[in-house]
Structure formats: C-alpha cells, structure tokens
Amino acid sequence: MTNQPINLYQGKKHGNFQVASVPQIPLLESMGLRVGTNITLQNRYALGGPVLLRVEDTYSIALGKDIAQQIAVNEVAGS
C-alpha cells in the first residue's frame, strides 16, 4: 500500500483504489467519480488504450488514457 497518490493509468490491474483528486469535468462527477470514491482497475488496454473501472463495486465505466492520467488515486488494502 502506498501513501503517495499515483495517476489512475499507472495503477495495477485488479488493484483497489480510492480517488484522491479528479479534474473538474462534469461528466466524471455524473459518472460517480468524486474524491473518496472506491474503484477497482479491471483492465488497462494495450497501446495507450482505455482503462476499465468498477466504481463502488456497482457498475463499470471505461475512461480514455488522457483522462485516466489526470485522476489521482491511492491504493487501498486488499489490492
């Protein structure tokens, strides 16, 4: 477990994270990505492709690499 936030795109596959900061993009908030949200990185696709996230163990969303790199996360226990 790390105390330093990393960008979401750097997270390990199947890792559990808590969002530390999110860019001010209204669509992200409407999808439930807010500071404190728990997420699981389900997959990171090759060649700079999107990441697939499980949000609060409820639903999955895909985010492009450029957006994922702007989201800071902290790894949580159990990853």
Burial call 14-27: b when 16+ CB within 10 Å, e when fewer: ebbbebbebeeeee
Residue 5 pLDDT: 94
Return the number of other C-beta atoms located less than 10 Å from residue 7's C-beta. Answer: 15
On whether the CB atoms of residues 69 and 7 are closer than 8 A, the answer is yes
Residue 3 pLDDT: 73
Give a yes or no: residue 1 inside a domain.
no
Q: What is the pTM of this model?
A: 0.89
The enclosing domain of 49 has a CATH number of 2.30.30.90
**Is pLDDT at 12 greater than 90 in this prediction?**
yes
Residue 79 pLDDT: 54
Q: Which residue range(s) make up the domain with 46?
A: 6-75
Task: Tally the domains of the chain.
Answer: 1
Instruction: Give which of 14, 28, 30, 33 is closest to 78, Cα–Cα.
Output: 14
Give a yes or no: residue 64 inside a domain.
yes
Give a yes or no: residue 34 inside a domain.
yes
Confidence of residue 33 (pLDDT cuts 50, 70, 90): very high
Confidence of residue 78 (pLDDT cuts 50, 70, 90): low
- Cα separation, 39 vs 14, in Å, equals 10
